Chains A and B, each alone.
Chain A
Amino acid sequence: DGGITQSPKYLFRKEGQNVTLSCEQNLNHDAMYWYRQDPGQGLRLIYYSQIVNDFQKGDIAEGYSVSREKKESFPLTVTSAQKNPTAFYLCASSILAGSSYEQYFGPGTRLTVT
């Protein structure tokens, strides 16, 4: 099956702990993205990567970090510096970045920090 996998589906952490969300794709896409979704806020871009070993900040990058060591993997770390980390996190990918290419989403990870 081709697609984007995110694990785990639900994640619970104590405040002050860093947590890493997994995103893997087997679509051979160069571009990958992380979005955060809160009720009534739509999808807000955290980070994106157009190519291995390169990534750019999105609109709400503070308190998050990413790496792109492999084409198929783009993990997101939610650090203790993120003030309000509880949210639904969505990973996406496209063949390349930009308007010529459709963007596909994974199933999401719901993170709850208490």
Chain B
Amino acid sequence: QQQVKQSPQSLIVQKGGISIINCAYENTAFDYFPWYQQFPGKGPALLIAIRPDVSEKKEGRFTISFNKSAKQFSLHIMDSQPGDSATYFCAASNRNTPLVFGKGTRLSVIA
């Protein structure tokens, strides 16, 4: 019930392409779904987050799509750049509980 399953484990995308990372959850009480970006040797940084009252949230080249009935959410990175190469984590939480993280996706954007 507390798991968040993230896929793929790794992803290679051409520069200018779209990167898509998917997450699925089981706990219907989750009501906050953030994505974090982590560069090697650094702490994760909050990238974008969504709550279940909306189906999509966009910030610049980053978009979260949320499907409440399927219990899935995904991160889309448009016009992917080499500087986007990092590990991305999805997470979920509900009221008064810490975040539960997916296992991460290592994204490589190649020129």
Contacts from A to B (Cβ < 8 Å): 4, 33, 35, 40-45, 48, 58, 90, 92, 97-100, 102-108, 110
User: B96 an interface residue at 8 Å Cβ cutoff?
Assistant: yes
Roughly how many angstroms separate A99 CA and B30 CA in the complex, as a whole number? 8
Q: Which residues of B contact A43 (CB under 8 A)?
A: 44, 89, 101
Evaluate contact between A97 and B42: CB separation under 8 angstroms.
Answer: no
Q: Which residues of A contact B96 (CB under 8 A)?
A: 97-98
* B interface, over-half SS: loop
User: B9 an interface residue at 8 Å Cβ cutoff?
Assistant: yes
* A interface, over-half SS: strand
Q: Which residues of B contact A33 (CB under 8 A)?
A: 98
Which of B9, B30, B95, B99 is in CB contact (< 8 Å) with A103? B99
Roughly how many angstroms separate A92 CA and B32 CA in the complex, as a whole number? 17
A42 and B44 contact, Cβ closer than 8 Å, known pairs A58-B98, A97-B98 = no
User: B45 an interface residue at 8 Å Cβ cutoff?
Assistant: yes
Evaluate contact between B46 and A107: CB separation under 8 angstroms.
Answer: no
Contacts from B to A (Cβ < 8 Å): 6, 9, 30-32, 34, 36, 41-46, 49, 51, 89, 93-104
Which of B6, B45, B51, B103 is in CB contact (< 8 Å) with A105? B45
Roughly how many angstroms separate A105 CA and B46 CA in the complex, as a whole number? 9
Q: Which residue of A lies closest to B90 (CB)?
A: A42
Roughly how many angstroms separate A38 CA and B78 CA in the complex, as a whole number? 29
Tell me, rounded to whole Å, the shortest Cβ–Cβ distance linking B44 to chain A: 5
A42 and B101 contact, Cβ closer than 8 Å, known pairs A99-B95, A102-B34 = yes
Roughly how many angstroms separate A98 CA and B97 CA in the complex, as a whole number? 5
Which of A92, A98, A102, A108 is in CB contact (< 8 Å) with B41? A108
Q: Which residue of A lies closest to B96 (CB)?
A: A98
Tell me, rounded to whole Å, the shortest Cβ–Cβ distance linking B89 to chain A: 6
